[in-house]
């Protein structure tokens, strides 16, 4: 019976276990979006993960959605990330970089006054974005023109090249949680006509173009994709999340990706459904599940053949040695939300490992 502690090969990478670290934005870069030595320390502490998926990282300048999040669009950022990849590799780990465009979740106060872009002029409601001037409501985005989209694809491609230069083992394209690619995908945020709006094959077009471009840099066996068909975070909704997930599961077989990473639910329980079962039925590659798993539930999903690996977010945030704790059946440190996005080492590199 396959367990959390069986090795897993996904594309060109082999991991000693199936306990992945989910991408976690922690806002510990500097004001120029350059990764810091503190981030290298944080990630190296978590090198026992089967795979670390490093936090959402800006592919282009001018698309900041979180104050102090990292980028990968200039040489200083590549050098900053090299500290992390070197430290993780020295500690025996493997690390992919999650690359993203924040779309309508970006804010003018984070981007020199520039209005954010999106598939359609529809703003995020009911939430606020953290800026240097405190929490602010999201603003109305500007709809991208079709002729601007090749520039977005080129931005992801350049970020993929930079991630290679920074020493990552691969990249995860962020197609989840209401950021640009997900905004195109789901019909609640995409009201376009033309080649990138309407039926699902059009709404998925930008994401699939990005996957092809990024795969041309890395080889598709070092490219993962994250999806969240049900998550209503960032005012996202779709009229048929299960149909969308099923369509994507079939279509993505053509890409030969390292893995498909699926958030199974909704942070706010507004949209219900089971997307993992149809994805498993139709997707032939490595499937990584996430969202609210305990060690026991993850072990059962893997033993039952429903998933190949499970990514843990808050578990790894608070427990640098999560696989060792799972193996020992040891208690877990509780995450402290007050320090999720605060600067400095507190609540970042000071969660204790077992026996420390």
Ligand X SMILES: Cc1cc2nc3c(=O)[nH]c(=O)nc-3n(C[C@H](O)[C@H](O)[C@H](O)COP(=O)(O)O)c2cc1C
Catalytic residues: 179
Least distance to ligand X from the beta carbon of 225, Å?
A: 11
Please tell me whether residue 56 binds ligand X under the rule CB under 6 A. Answer: yes
**101: Cβ contacts below 8 Å, ≥ 6 apart:** 58, 59, 60, 63, 152, 155, 156, 174, 179, 180, 181
Please tell me whether residue 313 binds ligand X under the rule CB under 6 A. Answer: yes
- Specify whether the backbone of 113 is left (phi greater than 0), alpha (psi in -120 to 50) or beta: left
Please tell me whether residue 315 binds ligand X under the rule CB under 6 A. Answer: yes
Q: Nearer to ligand X by C-beta: 132 or 292?
A: 292
Please tell me whether residue 22 binds ligand X under the rule CB under 6 A. Answer: yes
d(CA 304, CA 342): 39
Please tell me whether residue 124 binds ligand X under the rule CB under 6 A. Answer: no
| Among 74, 277, 314, 349, contact with ligand X (rule: CB under 6 A) | 314
Closest residue to ligand X: CB criterion: 313
Please tell me whether residue 290 binds ligand X under the rule CB under 6 A. Answer: yes
Least distance to ligand X from the beta carbon of 231, Å?
A: 8
Least distance to ligand X from the beta carbon of 69, Å?
A: 8
Q: CB under 6 A: which stretch of 120-128, 268-276, 284-292, 343-351 binds ligand X?
A: 284-292
Q: Nearer to ligand X by C-beta: 95 or 197?
A: 95
Closest by Cα among 27, 34, 30, 96 to 65: 27
β pairing state of 8-10 and 95-100: unpaired
Q: Nearer to ligand X by C-beta: 100 or 283?
A: 100
Q: How many CA atoms lie within 13 A of 267 on its CB side?
A: 12
User: How big is the site for ligand X, counted in residues (CB under 6 A)?
Assistant: 20
Closest by Cα among 302, 182, 192 to 230: 182
Q: Nearer to ligand X by C-beta: 216 or 294?
A: 294
Least distance to ligand X from the beta carbon of 313, Å?
A: 3
Q: Which residue has the tokens 């493997």?
A: 94
Question: By the 8 A CB rule, do 173 and 181 touch?
Answer: yes
Q: How far is CA 119 from the centre of its chain?
A: 20
d(CA 35, CA 287): 29
Residues that bind ligand X (CB under 6 A): 22-25, 55-56, 98, 174, 176-177, 226, 263, 290-292, 312-315, 340
């Amino acid at each position: 019976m396959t367990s959390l502690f069986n090795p897993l090969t996904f594309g060109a990478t082999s991991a000693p276990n199936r306990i992945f670290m989910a991408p976690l934005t922690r806002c510990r870069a500097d004001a120029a979006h350059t990764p810091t030595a503190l981030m290298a320390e944080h990630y190296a502490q978590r090198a026992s993960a089967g795979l670390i998926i490093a936090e959402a990282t800006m592919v282009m300048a001018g698309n900041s959605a979180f104050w102090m999040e990292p980028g990968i669009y200039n040489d200083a950022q590549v050098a900053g990330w090299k500290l992390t990849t070197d430290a993780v590799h020295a500690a025996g780990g493997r690390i992919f970089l999650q690359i993203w465009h924040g779309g309508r979740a970006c804010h003018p106060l984070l981007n020199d006054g520039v209005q954010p872009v999106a598939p359609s002029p529809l703003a995020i409601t009911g939430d606020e974005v953290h800026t240097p001037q405190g929490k602010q409501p999201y603003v109305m985005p500007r709809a991208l023109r079709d002729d601007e989209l090749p520039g977005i694809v080129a931005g992801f491609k350049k970020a993929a090249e930079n991630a290679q230069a920074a020493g990552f083992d691969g990249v995860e394209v962020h197609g989840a949680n209401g950021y640009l690619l997900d905004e195109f995908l789901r019909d609640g945020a995409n009201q376009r006509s033309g080649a990138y709006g309407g039926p699902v094959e059009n709404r998925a077009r930008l994401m699939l173009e990005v996957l092809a471009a990024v795969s041309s840099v890395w080889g598709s066996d070092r490219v993962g994709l994250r999806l969240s068909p049900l998550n209503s975070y960032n005012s996202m909704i779709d009229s048929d999340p299960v149909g969308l997930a099923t369509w994507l599961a079939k279509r993505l077989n053509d890409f030969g990706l390292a893995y498909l990473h699926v958030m199974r639910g909704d942070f706010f329980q507004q949209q219900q459904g089971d997307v993992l079962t149809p994805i498993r039925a139709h997707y032939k590659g490595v499937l990584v599940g996430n969202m609210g798993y305990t060690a026991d539930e993850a072990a059962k999903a893997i033993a039952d053949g429903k998933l190949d690996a499970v990514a843990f977010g808050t578990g790894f945030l608070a427990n640098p040695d999560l696989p060792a704790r799972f193996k020992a059946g040891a208690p877990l440190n509780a995450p402290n939300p007050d320090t999720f996005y605060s600067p400095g080492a507190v609540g970042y590199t000071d969660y204790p490992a077992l026996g420390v």
